[in-house]
Amino acid sequence: MRNRNFENRAVVVTGAASGIGAAISHRFGKAGAKIGLLDMDETGVHAEAGKLRDAGADAVGVGCDVVDPAQCASAMNMWPTLFTEVCWISAICWF
């Protein structure tokens, strides 16, 4: 992601409540992206989205278990109401 400009582009990062997913979310935030964070740890993903907002990023956290198709569909269907379109999805999850 070196020297990439994501200004006003929307990205979705799964596994974003901690670890690699959180780190990737912060990199996208520094690159100017609008970030949708997904994680089954709802408390953690909301906290991480708050950290991003505190740092000046446009971020929204959503509790979502990515192995549940209905939860994924619900989460992805809400992004167009928050952002114009999603240009990047970073899937970070462990089973």
Taking residues 59-77, report their average pLDDT. 89
On whether the CB atoms of residues 45 and 63 are closer than 8 A, the answer is yes
Query: What's the whole-model pTM score?
Result: 0.84
DSSP reduced 3-state for 25: helix
- What is the model's pLDDT at position 71? 92
CATH class of 10-90: alpha beta
- What is the model's pLDDT at position 3? 60
What does the domain layout of the chain look like in residue ranges?
Answer: 10-90
Polymer length in residues for the chain:
95
On whether the CB atoms of residues 10 and 84 are closer than 8 A, the answer is yes
Taking residues 38-64, report their average pLDDT. 95
Give bridge partners of residue 14 from the DSSP assignment: 38
pLDDT band at 10 (very low <50, low <70, confident <90, very high): confident
For the cut 90, the answer to whether the pLDDT of residue 93 exceeds it is: no
* Residue 79 to residue 16: CA distance in whole angstroms: 16
On whether the CB atoms of residues 62 and 75 are closer than 8 A, the answer is yes
On whether the CB atoms of residues 5 and 30 are closer than 8 A, the answer is no
